[in-house]
Amino acid sequence: MTARQRRMVLVGVVLLAVGGAVGFALKAFQDNLQYFYSPSDVSAGKAPADRLFRVGGMVTEGSFKRPSGSLEAHFVLTDYASNVTVSYTGVLPDLFREGQGVICRGKLGANGVFVAEEVLAKHDENYMPPDVAETLKKQHANNGSAAPVPGTSSATPGLTNGPTAGPTT
Amino acid sequence: MIVELGHFALILALCLTLAQAFFGLGGAATRRPHWIAVTRRAVAGQFVMTACAFASLAYAFYSNDFSVLYVAQNSNSQLPTFYRFAAVWGAHEGSLLLWLLVLSVWTLAVTAFSRNQPEIMISRVLGVLGVISVGFALFILLTSSPFERLWPAAQDGRDLNPLLQDPALAIHPPILYTGYVGFSVAFAFAVAAMLEGKLESVWARWVRPWATMAWLFLTVGIALGSWWAYYELGWGGWWFWDSVENASFMPWLIGTALIHSLAVTEKRGLFKSWTLLLSISAFSLSMLGTFMVRSGIIESVHAFASDPSRGLFILIFMGICVGTALALYAWRAPNFRSNVGFAVVSRESFLLMNNILLVAATALILLGTLYPVFLDALKLDKISVGAPWFAATFLIPILPMVFLMVPGMHAEWKHASFGRTKNLLLGVAGAAVVLSLLLALGVYQWHSVLTMVGFIAAFAVALSALIEPVTRLRNGHSLSASIVGMSVAHFGLAVFILGVTTVESYHLETDLSLKPGSSAQLGAYELKMNSLRNVAGPNYEAVESEVAITRAGKEVAVLHPQKRTYRVQTNPMTEAGIDAGWGRDLFVAMGDPLGDGSWSMRLQYKPLVRFIWLGALIIALGGGISVTDRRYRQRVTAEAPAKAAAESI
């Protein structure tokens, strides 16, 4: 073999390997994409029945229930248009509390309850899942509803909500 | 007053970086020695000014000056002094100032350690670094100044994010940034070579220590971040394929490819344009990482400070830098062709494969990280790419790469055949299989084929890394620091792989409810909660539980996990109780109270998890050893063109 032929063989092998890897990666990509839905989408039946997906919203005040001594929690996620009931068994993240924005990953159960495998709360007390913020903006533009307006709190990051030491203006 | 002086110092630093960029590039283009001399002075000046700006901000934190907005947002009078200093880079503005300071330290280091190198070349390098400094200084002054006053002044500050009040995370950003920013030196050298239009293999010898140092710091920085996430976020995982983690991992992968490609360029004068492209890519990915973390386009629990307008600035600046460099590359790349051949199983081939596979791995991570962003930007779908995807696809290029390391380490330059090393390789493979079976069946139990593959890879790489220097010595060669460093780093990778394989295959995890007096079983361990009590720290209150761990009736450890509530930010924080050991970690984290006196608890058993960070540190140590190689300090006289360039001024 000449140097040129050998190089061609090398290039061929590399191309085959890269092609195979890309093919496999794209296949795995399809299987592992997790779509994000809002509670409105879930209520409207847009979410898939037998696939993992993520749903994000605010935890409704007063909706959190957990039997004493048990790890199984139930709460309601809302985007101020629709609600989804979520059940989760396990340790909740530190920043999980009512009125807080969270994202849950899991599957929709037969009874319409979303069974979460994982609950994520952002490490920022002003955090609102982007979808909820959008829904709220739309609603606010339409009818000036009572829901909190996104963006107003994040425009002045931090300084408005230090409970003991917020600098006064 | 001090803060205004700091602001003024930063403006002066900007002026000096402008001078550095202008006289550096201009002096090299017009070959005016006095301009080049001015460049070096400007570097020293901009370092002093940036350091003054940084020191003034640090002083504002130290003296609790809450009339400074940034201090009021990120500190508190009760914050311990050490964290008050770490709070300087606790948010966006200060961390950018740190970034600029690190860049000026690197630039100063270039002037200090380049006395033996051609003046024109170094002048260009300093000029390019000056352009980058100008960009970041402007960025700070225009969009994110930490020196803004708050009127009236706050009574007290909002405190540092409790997540950041941790020794590992206090030193994580400076080290990570040193790595990120360090790639701008390799980038500057690449641009300088392209402007010159010439690239001798001695160029690679100049760049190698810089690239290796940057890569070394990035390695340690990423490992620290991973370690911090493990114990501080309370999750017990060591890598989440989070977009911010990916943002630091991509430059690392490309940096790894770069230091290997530089080896070929230095030894054999090959891969020249490829090395240039990798230098540009490593820098671009560092910038992309900054953009992703700072712009808020990516949802991440690690993204602490984000603002879209800042992201746009970085994106535009990145477009200018990278676009110019790539255009220059397109124009000059044909100059860097080399016509030397090499055999299929030579060391060059293995290093080429290593590079291709590392770049493929980076491309996959980039795809997984950016694809959701593009879909979202185009308003198509909101999706996320799960960690399982990254974990699975990352192995496709990386497993072959790891196995290719074994013959690659023993291959010779230029021409080689398997004939000479066949017996050695068969021996290594056999020993690796036997050791893996012993470990998988003797110590643990059979888990899966992938576990075996991981063990075999770890042992094969470790054995190769140990045998290689020995055969070299036996053949009468001396061992240079480069060779020792390479073997150490490869051995570190083996340690890392062993840790990852074991912890991913054999870890145990359970969430359950415990109350004082009750106990739970985790593998061979029994965990009993003895008590719950309230404790107070300097700026937080906490509930602390005492968990006693026994194994077959013998006490193993008593852990004290806490659930803290910081007084100012009021966020609850989990402080896990960890019994660390060489063989395994036992990890106990408190969830939340369940009402009847019991708490939700997360209990984990993590075999060999320490090997992950230990391996990363050994890898970095290998880089450190190879940088001390004597040939990097030698004056270059043999290369006629370099000499001519040096003498032409």
The pLDDT tens digits for B430-456 are 999 999 999 999 999 999 999 999 999
User: Which residue from B325, B319, B317, B322 is spatially nearest to B140, judged by alpha carbons?
Assistant: B317
Residues of B in contact with A32 (CB under 8 A): 385-386, 388-389, 392
On chain B, the residues whose CB falls within 8 A of the CB of A14 are 353, 356
Q: Which residues contact B444 (CB under 8 A, 6 or more apart)?
A: B502, B505, B506, B607
Q: What percent of chain B has pLDDT over 90?
A: 63
Instruction: Please provide the distance, in angstroms rounded to a whole number, between the alpha carbons at the two ends of chain B.
Output: 45
Pairing outcome for strands B562-566 and B577-579: unpaired
Q: Which residue in this structure is represented by tokens 């991973």?
A: B226
Q: Would the CB atoms of B383 and A6 count as touching at under 8 Å?
A: no
> In this structure, what CATH number is given to the domain that contains residue A114?
2.40.50.140
Examine the pLDDT at A131 and tell me if it is beyond 70. no
Nearest CA in chain A to B602: A91
Q: Do residues B336 and B199 lie in contact, with contact meaning Cβ atoms separated by under 8 Å?
A: yes
Angle of helix B387-410 versus helix B481-506 axis, rounded to 10: 140
- Nearest residue, CB atoms, B591 vs list A3, A91, A165: A91
Question: Hey, are the CB atoms on A159 and B73 less than 8 Å from each other?
Answer: yes
- Between residues 268 and 297 of chain B, which touch chain A (CB distance below 8 Å)? none
Structure tokens, A17: 């390997």
Check whether B379 has a pLDDT greater than 80: no
The interface predicted TM-score of the complex, written ipTM, equals 0.70
Distance to chain A for B505, nearest Cα, Å: 20
Residue B175 pLDDT > 80? yes
pLDDT category of residue B277 using cuts at 50, 70 and 90: very high
For position B371, what pLDDT does the model report? 84
A59: Cβ–Cβ under 8 A, 6 or more apart, which residues?
A75, A76, A77, A96, A97, A98, A99, A100, A101, A102
CA B145 to chain centre: 26
Is residue A66 assigned to a domain? Answer: yes
Mean pLDDT of chain B: 89
B536 at A interface, C-beta within 8 A: no
Residues of chain A numbered 82-111 and touching chain B (CB < 8 Å): 89-92, 94-95
Q: Which of residues 10-69 of B touch A (CB under 8 A)?
A: 66
pLDDT at position B301: 44
Does residue A67 belong to any structural domain of this protein? Answer: yes
A6, closest residue in chain B (CA to CA): B344
Domain boundaries, chain B: 1-165, 167-401, 417-506, 508-607
Tell me what the mean pLDDT of segment A88-103 comes to: 85
Predicted local distance difference test score (pLDDT) of residue B243: 82
* pLDDT of A149 higher than 60: no
Q: What is the pLDDT of residues B520-536, one digit of tens each?
A: 999 999 999 999 999 99
Q: What residues of chain A lie within 8 A of the CB of B511, using their CB?
A: 71, 89-91
Q: What is the pLDDT of residues B568-613, one digit of tens each?
A: 877 788 889 999 999 999 999 998 888 888 999 999 999 999 999 9
pLDDT at A129: 60
The reply to whether A2 falls in a domain is no
Using an 8 Å CB-CB cutoff, list chain B residues near A134: none
pLDDT at B43: 97
Distances from the Cα of B647 to the Cαs of A134, B31, B220, B465, in angstroms?
Answer: 64, 11, 40, 42
| φ, ψ dihedrals at A144, nearest 5° | 55, 50
Is A12 an interface residue toward B (CB < 8 Å)?
no
Q: Chain B, 571-610: which have a CB under 8 Å from a chain A CB?
A: 571-574, 589, 591-592, 594-596, 598, 600-602
pLDDT level of residue A154 (50, 70, 90 thresholds): very low
Per-residue pLDDT at A133: 65
The tens digit of pLDDT for each residue in B305-326 reads 456 677 778 888 989 999 999 9
What is the reported pLDDT for B400?
Answer: 93
Q: Give the residue among B355, B349, B183, B329 at the shortest CA–CA distance from B268.
A: B349
Minimum distance, in Å, between the CA of residue A4 and any CA atom of chain B: 9
Please tell me if residue A155 touches chain B, with a CB cutoff of 8 Å. Answer: no
Asked if the structure places residue A164 within a domain, the reply is: no
Which domain, by its residues, includes A44? Answer: 36-144
* Closest Cβ opposite residue B344 in set A6, A28, A122: A6
Confidence class for position A164, pLDDT limits 50, 70, 90: very low
Smallest CA–CA distance, residue B388 to chain A, in Å, is: 7
Which pLDDT belongs to residue B608?
95
**Contact B66/A167, CB-based, under 8 Å?**
yes
Using CB atoms, pick whichever of B383, B598, B600 lies closest to residue A91.
B600
pLDDT band, very low/low/confident/very high, at A160 (cuts 50, 70, 90): very low
Which residues in chain A are closer than 8 Å to B358, comparing Cβ atoms? none
Whether A132 and A79 have beta carbons less than 8 Å apart is answered as yes
Instruction: Tell me whether residues A167 and B396 touch, CB distance under 8 A.
Output: no
CB contact under 8 A, A165 and B388: no
Of the partner residues B163, B397, B511, the one whose CB lies closest to the CB of residue A71: B511
Q: Is residue A129 part of a domain?
A: yes
Is the separation of the CB atoms in A133 and A89 below 8 Å? no
Cross-chain residue pair A36–B73, CB shorter than 8 Å: no
Query: Is residue B349's pLDDT more than 60?
Result: yes
* B379 and A CB contact within 8 Å: no
Nearest-angstrom CA–CA distance, B624 and B617: 10
Q: How many domains does chain A have?
A: 1
- Note the pLDDT of residue A123: 56
> What is the average pLDDT across B186-211?
93
Residue B140, both tokens = 């700070």
What is the tally of helices (H) and strands (E) in chain B? 18, 11
User: Is A98 part of a structural domain of the chain?
Assistant: yes
User: What is the distance of C-alpha B200 from the center of its chain?
Assistant: 29
SS3 B617: helix
Nearest by CB to A94, from B384, B397, B572: name it. Answer: B572
**A2 in reach of chain B (CB within 8 A):** no
Is A15 inside a domain boundary? no
Residue A132 lies in a domain: yes
What mean pLDDT value characterizes chain A? 74
A159-163, B204-208, B228-232, B311-315 — which is least confidently predicted?
A159-163
Chain A positions touching B520 (Cβ under 8 A) are none
Residue B644: the pLDDT is 42
With CB atoms and an 8 Å threshold, state whether B389 touches A14.
no
The pLDDT of B272-296, averaged and rounded, is 86
Higher pLDDT pick, B183 / A81: B183
Average pLDDT over residues B251-272: 94
Contact status, residue B216 vs residue B620, Cβ threshold 8 Å = yes
A18 touches chain B (CB under 8 A): yes
Least confident of A125-129, B26-30, B218-222, B542-546: A125-129
Whether B512 has its CB under 8 Å from any CB of chain A: the answer is yes
B102 C-beta neighbours (distance < 10 Å), count: 24
How far does CA A115 lie from the centroid of its chain? 14
B298 and B290 in contact (C-beta within 8 Å)?
A: no
Q: List pLDDT tens digits, range B469-514.
A: 998 899 888 889 999 999 999 999 999 999 999 999 999 999 889 9
Q: What is the pTM of this model?
A: 0.89
Query: A132: which 2 tokens?
Result: 């909820």
* pLDDT band for position B358 (cuts 50, 70, 90): very high
Q: What is the pLDDT of residue B436?
A: 96
- CB distance B389 to A43 below 8 Å: no
Q: Do B573 and A94 touch (CB under 8 A)?
A: yes
Task: Please count the CA atoms within 13 angstroms of the CA of B605 that sit on its side-chain side.
Answer: 16
Confidence of residue A144 (pLDDT cuts 50, 70, 90): very low
Amino acid at B184: S
Q: Name residue, tokens 């460099």.
A: B325
In 3D space, the residue among A99, A88, A96, A86 whose CA is nearest the CA of residue A58 turns out to be A99
Q: How is A86-130 classified by DSSP, letter by letter? A: EEEESPPPTT--TT-EEEEEEEE-TTS-EEEEEEEE-SSTT---H
Q: Choose the closest CB to A71 out of B513, B569, B573.
A: B513
If DSSP states are collapsed to H, E and C, what string results for B314-338? HHHHHHHHHHHHHHHHHHHHHHHCC
Q: Are A57 and A128 in contact (CB under 8 A)?
A: no
36-55 of A, contacting B, C-beta below 8 A: 36-37, 52, 54
Q: What percent of chain B has pLDDT over 70?
A: 95
